[in-house]
Amino acid sequence: MKVAVIGAGSAGTAIAGVLASKNHEVVIYNRSIEKIENIIKDGFIRVTGVYDLKGYVTATRDLGTAVRKDTELIMIATTSNAHDELACKLVPFLHDGQVIILNPGGTFGTINFASKLVDSGHVKDVIIGETESLIYAVRQRKSGLVDIAGEKKNLGISVLPSFHKDRVKKMLDNLADGFYPADFVVTSLRNPSAITHPPIMLANAEKIKKGERFLFYGDGATKEVCQQIEYADAERMAIAEKLGVSLDPLLDFIHIVYPACSGNTIYQCSHSNPAWEHIYAPLALDVRMLTEDVPYGLVPMSEAAKYLGVDTPVIDSLIDGTCGLLGVDYRKNGRHIKSWAGQDLSSSIEQIKTIGKISDLNNLKS
C-alpha cells in the first residue's frame, strides 16, 4: 500500500514508522524541517516502547511529493487547527479513489474537512474519514524517534461516503487491532480528549506555569478534577442522545480501548492505566491539550448543544476558563458548524449520511 502521512509530530511519526515496518511504501510530509531532519538523514523511523521496530520511509517538505496520483491512503496527523488550510492545499494533488483519514478529526472533523474541500473547488471522488481518537499513546523523543506507551484497542472509524467503510477498515487494520466502522457522530463525540485534557490543564495551570514536573494523570487528575470530567462527560452523552446515537460513558470507553486498565471510577483509572503512568504534564499552557481540544473539540460541541437545546454548563465553563487563561477568544476562532448545519442540525446530519460522493455536500449547502 502506498501511504502519505501528513504531519511528523508524535502521532504522524508513529503511524509512518509502524506502516513502513510492515513493508508499506510510506512518505511522511512536514512543513518545517525540524521534525523530519533525522528521518531525511537516516532514511528510517525508530519506534520503541510497546513496539521495537524500524520503518524505512521517505521524508519531504513538498506536499506534492507526498501525495501522488498512486497514493492510496493519506493519513493526516496534524493538529486540528491545521485542517482547514491543509484541505485547501491538498486539492490540486487529490485523485479519485484516494482515502483521507484524520487522526483524529475532533468534533465533526470529517464533515468540516469535506466541507472545506468542497468550498475550495474540490471535485475528485475521494473518501474522507476519521478515527475517534489517536491510535497510540505516544511521545516523540526527537525527530525520527517515538516511544509508544500503549496501543488503543477497539477504536471507531467513520467515513464519508459511508459505503466505503469496509475498505477503509481493512486499510487501517495495518495499524492496530480492533477498528470497527462507526457513525461519524459517534467518532466526533466519542473522542475523550476534549473532556479529559482541559479540566486537568486548568486545575493545574499554576503548577504548569511554574514549570513543575508532575504526572499528568497520576498527579493532575485529582478526585475533584475527575468529578468535573464526569459532569462534562454527562453533557457530551446528552448531546449524542439528542442526535440519536448512544455513547459509552467515559469510564467504559477507557476500559474498552485500554483493556489493561483497572479501576471502577475515572479517578482510579487515571491512576492505574499502564499507558498513562509515565505521561508527564506539559511545561507550557499553550499546548494542544488546550489549544486543540477546546476550540476544535469543546466549541463545536457547545454549538451543537445550543442547536439541540442541551444545557452544557461544565463544557461552557471549560471553554470560558481556557479563553481567559490564554487570552484567546476560542468561541470566535474555533471550529463552527453553522456552514453545514443549516437550520436543523439533526436533519442536516441525516442527509450527510446518505451522500454518494463528497461533492454532494454542495447540494446541501445550496
Q: Residues 128, 226: one domain?
A: no
279-290 average pLDDT score: 94
- Residue 85 is part of a domain; what is its CATH number? 3.40.50.720
Give the helix ranges, DSSP H, for 22-67: 37-42, 63-66
Reported as a single tens digit per residue, the pLDDT across 247-263 is: 889 999 899 888 888 88
Give the helix ranges, DSSP H, for 152-298: 165-172, 184-190, 193-203, 205-209, 223-242, 250-257, 266-270, 288-291
Question: Does the pLDDT of residue 366 top 60, yes or no?
Answer: no
Predicted local distance difference test score (pLDDT) of residue 364: 63
- Residue 218 is part of a domain; what is its CATH number? 1.10.1040.10
Say if residues 77 and 125 touch (Cβ distance below 8 Å): no
Domain boundary, last residue among 165, 189, 213: 189
Of residues 195 and 191, the one with the higher pLDDT is: 195
302-327 average pLDDT score: 97
Taking the C-alpha atoms of residue 308 and residue 240, their distance in angstroms, rounded to an integer, is: 10
Q: If we measure between CA atoms, which residue out of 44, 98, 34 comes closest to residue 67?
A: 98
Confidence category of residue 48, pLDDT binned at 50, 70, 90: very high
Of residues 346 and 316, the one with the higher pLDDT is: 316
Say if residues 292 and 322 touch (Cβ distance below 8 Å): no
Say if residues 216 and 281 touch (Cβ distance below 8 Å): yes
Predicted local distance difference test score (pLDDT) of residue 197: 97
Q: Residues 120, 48: one domain?
A: yes
Least confident segment among 27-41, 145-159, 217-231, 320-334: 145-159
Predicted local distance difference test score (pLDDT) of residue 199: 98
Pairing of the two strands 44-49 and 53-56? antiparallel
Q: Residues 17, 98: one domain?
A: yes
Predicted local distance difference test score (pLDDT) of residue 359: 79
Question: Does the pLDDT of residue 266 top 70, yes or no?
Answer: yes
The domain containing residue 35 runs over which residues?
2-189
C-alpha cell at 203: 486545575
Say if residues 303 and 337 touch (Cβ distance below 8 Å): yes
Predicted local distance difference test score (pLDDT) of residue 351: 87
The conformational region for residue 350 under phi > 0 = left, psi -120 to 50 = alpha, else beta, is: alpha
Least confident segment among 141-145, 249-253, 273-277: 273-277
| Percent of the chain whose pLDDT exceeds 90 | 67
Taking the C-alpha atoms of residue 18 and residue 188, their distance in angstroms, rounded to an integer, is: 25
| Percent of the chain whose pLDDT exceeds 70 | 98
C-alpha cell at 283: 511545561
In sequence order, the β-bridge partners of residue 136 are 151
200-218 average pLDDT score: 96
Pairing of the two strands 99-102 and 73-76? parallel
Q: Residues 239, 149: one domain?
A: no
Listed in sequence order, the residues at least 6 apart from 77 whose beta carbon sits closer than 8 Å to its beta carbon are 5, 6, 7, 9, 11, 12, 15, 103
Reported as a single tens digit per residue, the pLDDT across 53-110 is: 999 999 999 999 999 999 999 999 998 989 999 999 999 999 999 999 999 888 999 9
The answer to the question of residue 365 being in a domain is no
Predicted local distance difference test score (pLDDT) of residue 365: 57
The answer to the question of residue 344 being in a domain is no
b/e burial code for range 226-260 (CB count within 10 A of at least 16 → b): bebbbbbbebbbbbbebbebebbebbebbbbbbee
Mean confidence (pLDDT) of the chain:
92
170-178 average pLDDT score: 82
Q: Residues 267, 211: one domain?
A: yes
Q: Residues 327, 285: one domain?
A: yes
Reported as a single tens digit per residue, the pLDDT across 105-134 is: 889 999 999 988 888 876 788 999 999 888
What amino acid occupies position 126? V
Least confident segment among 112-121, 140-149, 354-363: 354-363
Q: Residues 177, 210: one domain?
A: no
6-12 average pLDDT score: 95
C-alpha cell at 309: 437545546
Q: Residues 121, 236: one domain?
A: no
Q: Residues 152, 262: one domain?
A: no
Task: For helices 299-308 and 223-242, give the axis angle rounded to 10 degrees.
Answer: 50
Domain boundary, last residue among 189, 217, 252: 189
